[in-house]
Structure 1
Amino acid sequence: MDPWNVERRDEAMKSLLTLQQRLVPDVIETMKGRFRILRQMYDMQPVGRRTLAQVMDTTERILRGEVDFLKDQGLVAVDSSGMRLTPLGESLLDALGEVMGILDGRADLERELRRVLGLRAVRVVSGDVDENPEVKGDLGFTAARFLREVLRRGDVVAVTGGTTVAAVAARMPPVHPGNILVVPARGGVGERVEYQANTIAADLAERLRAEYLLFHVPDRLSEEAYRSLAGEPQIAEKLHLIRQASIVVHGIGQAIAMARRRRLPPEEIAVLEERGAVGEAFGYYFDQDGRIVYQQHTLGLGLGDISGMRAVIAVAGGRGKAGAIAAVAKAVAPHMLVTDEGAAREILARYKGCGDQGEGAKTAEIHEIS
């Protein structure tokens, strides 16, 4: 099935579910309950029945009956370490996730976001990561499944740093298309080790049984350091490999929060605020219209490298990031945006009805703060 043709797929599934809900409404409720069990089990596996029952606020007796059914269907395996999903169970969980999105109205949010932001595909997970940090796992799960759909033998996959992209790597299903190279999208020394692009690239490569490249350079460089490092033969060779990426998975940051995390001086942060910076990605800072208002010196992928890629996957959530997500989406124009309900509803509330929707990337003067 074409992973990009979400509009036609969703409409066909919605028609079928409408008929099913009218004819056998109990089936829908049962399906929702079993989806919740599979989803929670996937996040916690291997997990014991008592622990899972407590997390799901149900009794062991009720859960035992459901797990026995799922086991008989070949969806769940049970051993001394606990319960876990089988490959068939994981595959079914993927399909059920799309069904749940249609049943609870998230498919309508996805359609509106595609229109408003001018994107090819959008997936919205339930909840708001600002209110429930566990939603970040759902963002990672959904983005990882889409990455699996578009991955081909011989691909070079680039990843940025950050907690949300780390969740993508952690929830990537084991697939082995062969001859894959995973690379960090840019330097990231200075971030917490577990959220650096290098670490995430290594984690994702392990899940894919792929090769990976490490790129040990600082995230932010002075102009002199940038020119010096870029001229180093080993750095130049790695940059060449990184720029061969056919797929990139990237996060989205709030401009001022990212500037502070990167320890920009107060006077530079003040300039960003004056220029209306709201979103950040790949070392570029964007205003609410997707115009670049500041570009820092960083080694790695730039917007020019991204434009020719086969798949650009952006993943970010939380109502507080709505402005940043919309700004970066307009500038970068990812092929797939994975976000949550909190961000989706806030974006639509802010941007619905604006006259310049869906224009994609905008050109503007790039300001560099030295």
Structure 2
Amino acid sequence: MREILDIQKQLLPDLMDTMKKRYTILHYIFVSGSVGRRSLAVSLNTTERILRAEVDFLKEQGLIEVESSGMRISPAGRQLLDSIEPLVKDLFGLTELEERIRSYYGLKQVVIVPGDSDVSPHTKKELGRAGAVVLRKLIAEDEVIAVTGGSTLAEVAYHMTATTPLKGCWFVPARGGLGESVELEANTIASTMAKKTGASYRLLHVPYYLGEEAYQSLMQDQSIAEIIQFIRRARMVVHGIGEAMVMARRRKVDPETTESLRRDGALAEAFGYYFDRQGHILQKMPTVGLRIEDIHEMDMVIGIAGGKSKGEAITSVLRHGHENVLVTDEAAALEIVQRLSS
């Protein structure tokens, strides 16, 4: 298959461009669920006139259905997307990127989706869908799965499905998270994942960021201690990765600590920990939930993050050395690869 693709690229480059274009349109319709032609043209940065011919072709092939409410993918279109996904990864050059990152960092799996989450909501949705597919395949029966908050994990939760219920499984927040937008809190994401997969969930109703005195007080509370012990039974954690300074502002970290992080070269934030360029921990925020030693003992650590702006932050967390699976996008992957030699 790869040899045939290479020959086609040499002899029929226009065919490859057409295939990429039609795949992108079909995939966008699939991820959107239902979308109008004008909205699709704007999202793909093309004109309605150019798009009309491609849409007519896809409709004639029975790959999409056009209704008054918009375009949606047909069962045949969905089947086609599933069957050509490996080919498309080669077409976009993503297979090679995945293997370079996987082998360099010793990961079990790397999944890269086309595009840049920073500039394309569609890519962000696809990142969430890919994360949901990876997570669903890795979950076994009777597991406790810890999840963090954030917009990317919210997309993962939205795309979670289960043909059969996850028997005996529990979704739990990896850390406290009250104070963020409700839809981005780890509690909300854990409960959404559980409801969509027929699993159970438990919640941790404490703020993300605590002063030392409040932290010590909460840790003495019996009900809080009990749920934390349950969370620490997790053998799998799914987490996002943030840029250090962006997350410090979002968490309302005090100015003195923020300046210290900046001075020490903090690049990434995950689990309430801040990491430098080499993956060393610079700062731990006093938050309730999983500790870094719990993460190190996990059977499966899955990082999901994308966007060119996060390439350096993702690299920092990978250098920490305890990830097993990375789901990211093309723009972030290119930034990661650029830093391999350094």
Q: Tell me the TM-score normalised to structure 2 length.
A: 0.86
Deviation at 1:314, TM superposition (A): 0.5
Q: 1:163 aligns with which of 151, 163, 182?
A: 151
> How far apart in 2 are the matches of 1:17 and 1:203?
40
SS state at 2:85 partner: helix
> Partner residue of 1:66?
58
| 1:136 to 2:124 alignment | yes
Distance in 1 between residues matched to 2:122 and 2:193, nearest whole Å: 20
Instruction: Tell me what 1:208 maps to.
Output: 197
2:188 is matched with: 199
Residue 41 of structure 2 is aligned to residue 41 of structure 1: no
Q: Alpha carbons of 1:328 and 1:32: their partners in 2 closer, same or farther (altered >3 Å)?
A: same
Distance 2:127 2:276 in 1: 25
How many angstroms does 1:330 deviate by?
1.6
Displacement after TM superposition at 1:217 (Å): 0.5
Q: Secondary structure at the match of 2:110?
A: strand
Partner residue, 1:271: 260
- Determine which of 235, 253, 262 is the counterpart of 2:224: 235
Matches within 5 A, 1:94-173: 94-173=82-161
Partner of 1:346 in structure 2?
A: 335
Q: Which runs of 5 or more structure 2 residues have no equivalent in the other structure?
A: none
> What per-residue deviation string (whole Å, max 9, x for no partner) do you get for residues 249-279 of structure 1?
1100111211111111111111112222111
CA 1:284–1:87 in 2, change beyond 3 Å: closer, same or farther? farther
User: Is the contact between residue 143 and residue 315 of structure 1 (CA under 8 Å) also seen in structure 2?
Assistant: yes
- Separation in 1, partners of 2:6, 2:40: 31
- Provide the residue aligned with 1:361 in structure 2: none
Figure out how many residues of one structure are paired with residues of the other and give that number: 337
Distance 1:90 1:185, change over 3 A: farther
Q: Is the 8 A contact 1:157 1:182 kept in 2?
A: yes
Question: Which of 244, 257, 263 is 1:255 aligned to?
Answer: 244
CA distance in 2, matches of 1:275, 1:62: 52
- SS where residue 70 of structure 1 aligns? coil
Q: Check conservation: 2:240, 2:305, Cα contact below 8 A.
A: yes
Residue 298 (1) aligns with residue 290 (2): no
Gaps of 5+ in 1: 1-12, 355-370
- Aligned letter for 1:266? P
Quick one: which of 289, 309, 313 aligns to 1:324?
313
Q: Which residue is 2:300 aligned to?
A: 311
Give the C-alpha shift of residue 55 in structure 1: 5.4
How far off is 1:216 after superposition?
Answer: 1.0
- Check 1:15–1:80 CA distance in 2 against 1; reply closer, same or farther (3 A cut): same
TM-score norm. by structure 1 comes to 0.80
1:102 counterpart SS class: helix
Flag the 1:78–1:293 CA change in 2: closer, same or farther, 3 A: same
Distance 1:63 1:198, change over 3 A: same
Return the alpha-carbon distance in structure 2 between the equivalents of residues 295 and 176 of structure 1.
39
Q: Distance in 1 between matches of 2:34 and 2:194?
A: 22
Q: After superposition, what is the alpha-carbon deviation per residue over 1:67-105, rounded to whole angstroms, capped at 9, x for unaligned?
A: 34235xxxx667786554467754653453332121121
Q: What is the alpha-carbon distance in structure 2 between the residues aligned to residue 290 and residue 55 of structure 1?
A: 36
CA deviation after TM superposition for structure 1 residue 290, in Å? 0.7
Q: Relative to 1, partners in 2 of residues 1:28 and 1:175: Cα closer, same or farther, differing over 3 Å?
A: farther
Contact in 1 for aligned 2:62/2:76 (Cα 8 Å): no
Question: Do 1:49 and 1:64's aligned partners in 2 also have CA atoms closer than 8 Å?
Answer: no
